[in-house]
Structure 1
Amino acid sequence: MKSWDERIDDVWADAAGDLDDDDVIARIDALAEERGRDDARAEFERAGARDSAGRPEEAIELYRRAMQLGLDEEHRPQCVVQLASSLRNVGEHEAALDVIRAEQEAHPDGRYRDAIATVEALVLASSGRPAHGLSVALLALVPHLPRYHRSMTAYALEIADLDT
């Protein structure tokens, strides 16, 4: 028999095909019920199903609950990305930035730091600070460049001030 994680992965694989949103939610909810409402990972998956279905308001509550219950080191930063993105989608930009900045402060070198910076850039752009958002995106790219770190960092920092 497949593990719970494998069955969750199967639903998401099917969702990439032609499975409709309500079916994804129903299947994820059925698997989540196996773990109960006090399981952070189950709540995270329930949130993701709703987020994927274009129901960010429902997802936000579940993402926050998953964070409160305590996610592991793999799923916590994913939850931050997804929660911040959902908050952005409903116009709660400052709340999204609060979630992002808390994660960045607690885990500055985390595996998902570039994904978190990407969402931060989107949130900043959506909140009327596109130059600051571009700066964040460029600063996330700098470590991946083969050269020009110093100059590109300086340019990115300079651009951030254009929104003021």
Structure 2
Amino acid sequence: MDKKDWERRVADAWASFDTRTETDFLTLIGTLAAELPADDGDALFERAAAYDSTGHPAEAVTLYRQALTHDLSGERRRRTVIQLASSLRNLGHPEEGVALLTPELAVTDHLDDAVRACLALCLADTGREREGLSLVLAALAPHLPRYQRSMANYARLLIDPDPPATPDGPPVHDQRERDQ
């Protein structure tokens, strides 16, 4: 089997998600997954994501966990961790989500903001709202047309309200940001 062709057909299936019934979509992904060995991490992930996207997080969690014990790497591995943490949170286990996502903060790729957003939700559900808000503000700051430095400082101050003193103190609305 040509794995690139399989990946293309999986992408096409996901592109058709909104035009299919739940049963039809689960069957389609199940059929595609069955083309790979039963213990293939990619197939397990796709089945898990299909269950997750159709409102069956408990079934998804089982498959996500299985996928992580197999040959997942790169983006699909990271997506599995993010989606597993989100499903665990939805099932009332946000602390497990925090444990899964915290190590992902050390990884850097295009999914960084998704990791931080999901971790922020998990933290909020464990009573650590300030940490969650700090993560979200820190993730948002680089995307702002202005106030990046201020927002990054505000994010830091949410979790470290007594930072070391600086000559100018923490910038509130840093005038230097006007030129950025």
Q: Which band: TM-score by shorter chain?
A: 0.7 to 0.9
| CA drift at 1:36 | 1.7
Unaligned stretches of 5+ residues in structure 1? none
Structure 1 or 2, whichever has the larger Rg, is 2
TM-score (norm 1): 0.87
Greater helix fraction, Structure 1 or Structure 2: 1
Q: How does 1:1-164 map to 2 (within 5 A)?
A: 3-17=5-19, 19-105=20-106, 107=107, 109-160=108-159
Q: Which moved more, 1:120-129 or 1:49-58?
A: 120-129
TM-score (norm 2): 0.80
Cα shift readout 1:16-51 (whole Å, capped 9, x = no counterpart): 22x111221111111111102121100000000100
* Greater relative contact order (CA < 8 Å, ≥ 6 in sequence): 1
Cα shift readout 1:39-82 (whole Å, capped 9, x = no counterpart): 11000000001001111111011111111113231211211221
Q: How many pairs were matched up?
A: 159
Question: 1:143, 1:149 within 8 Å by CA — same for their partners in 2?
Answer: yes
| SS of corresponding position for 1:70 | coil
Partner amino acid for 2:65? R
| SS of corresponding position for 1:16 | helix
Unaligned stretches of 5+ residues in structure 2? 162-180
| CA drift at 1:147 | 4.0
Q: Which moved more, 1:22-31 or 1:128-137?
A: 128-137
Say what the alpha-carbon RMSD is for the aligned residues. Answer: 2.0
Question: 1:133, 1:160 within 8 Å by CA — same for their partners in 2?
Answer: no
Identity %: 44
- Inter-partner Cα distance in structure 1 for 2:14 and 2:82: 17
- Inter-partner Cα distance in structure 1 for 2:126 and 2:51: 24
Partner amino acid for 1:8? V
Cα shift readout 1:84-123 (whole Å, capped 9, x = no counterpart): 1101100111110111112223x1x222111110111111
